[in-house]
Amino acid sequence: MKPLVAVVRFPGSNCEQETALALESCGIRGRVYNWNDVGSAAGQGCSGWVLPGGFSFQDRVRAGAVAARERIMDIVFGDALKGKPVLGICNGAQILVESGLVPGWTPGCIEASLAGNLAPGRTGYLSRWVFLRADSSGVERCPWLSCLGGETVPVPIAHAEGRFVFRDSDLDRAESLAVLKYVSPDGTPADCWPDNPNGSALAAAGVMNPRGNVLAMMPHPERALNLFHVPPNLPGPWGHLRRKLGTDPGPGPGAAFFKGLARYLEVQR
């Protein structure tokens, strides 16, 4: 029997079907649960959780703030503390940060923020492709990053509030948890816009908890699942592959995130 991973649909989520499809494509049963279907979600005994992208509760008050206080998050919180893998994508990442699961030095305490984008002369929503690289600590410790190696991968972002912020006093210890970073197309670290698209501290695109089982990432890997999702004009090897193979249905750069989880769950069984 394939392992089951729950995808939580909050009012306003809009990426749950693609996310479940991405899990299925890697040999995992991805099942979508409504946020208020707490009993079913808890009773199925899922092996992990994904909080998908979208606009939970219309981003009212602050993106992710209201969803983080829903009852289903009590279950996600408990499973995360038991070591089950949890991934938050975009709005899901905002929910994990507002839940105090990421960075999670003291679980439940809010120790980071995903604040409004900071970009010169721009404000509001930002939608484009960016380049990411996982550092070696993330590849070793985080199930979702284990198949990335040191490769530079292009993945799209689409958000208005995606800038990781830490207190000055936490920046040193945050460095070890900011395991997924924005880089330039040739893989050099991003120190400013446009490679770091939102002014994120430490150029962080994804931050895990100290145990490594929870990852909050702003880019959308499910939107880069297939090669034909990659824009043909993208620089780097993935763009080259796309131009060469056209609309080939082969795996895209985002598939590695879900393959990493599949491999992790296989080892756990």
What amino acid positions are annotated as catalytic residues? 90, 220, 222
* 105 near another protein (CB under 8 A): no
Cα 242 from chain centroid (whole Å): 23
Q: How far is the CB of 97 from another protein (least distance, A)?
A: 8
Q: How far apart are CA 117 and CA 105, in angstroms?
A: 24
* 68 near another protein (CB under 8 A): yes
Question: In Å, how far are 88, 191, 208, 210 from 105, measured between CA atoms?
Answer: 17, 26, 10, 7
> 125 or 140, CB closer to another protein?
125
Among 13, 19, 47, 117, binds another protein (CB under 8 A): 117
Strand-pair partners of 204: 181
* 128 near another protein (CB under 8 A): no
Which residue matches tokens 């080259």? 240
> 37 or 151, CB closer to another protein?
37
The pair of three-digit structure tokens given for residue 94, joined into one six-digit string: 């905002």
The pair of three-digit structure tokens given for residue 116, joined into one six-digit string: 């409004």
Q: How far is the CB of 17 from another protein (least distance, A)?
A: 25
Q: Are strands 126-134 and 48-51 parallel, antiparallel or unpaired?
A: unpaired
What x-and-dash track marks residues 148-167 binding another protein by CB under 8 A? -----------------xxx
The pair of three-digit structure tokens given for residue 197, joined into one six-digit string: 């698209």
Name residues contacting another protein, limited to 27-66 (CB under 8 A): 57-58, 60-62, 65-66
Question: In Å, how far are 155, 162, 222, 236 from 165, measured between CA atoms?
Answer: 21, 9, 25, 29
Contact range with another protein by CB under 8 A, out of 22-30, 117-125, 150-158, 222-230:
117-125
C-alpha angle 259/236/194, rounded to 5°?
95
Whether the CB-CB separation of 220 and 258 falls below 8 Å is answered with no
Contact range with another protein by CB under 8 A, out of 33-41, 67-75, 219-227, 261-269:
67-75
* 187 near another protein (CB under 8 A): no
Name residues contacting another protein, limited to 204-263 (CB under 8 A): none
Contact range with another protein by CB under 8 A, out of 30-38, 96-104, 232-240, 241-249:
96-104
Q: Cβ–Cβ contacts within 10 Å for residue 1, how many?
A: 5
Q: Which residues bind another protein (CB under 8 A)?
A: 57-58, 60-62, 65-66, 68-69, 73, 98-100, 108-113, 115-119, 121-124, 165-167
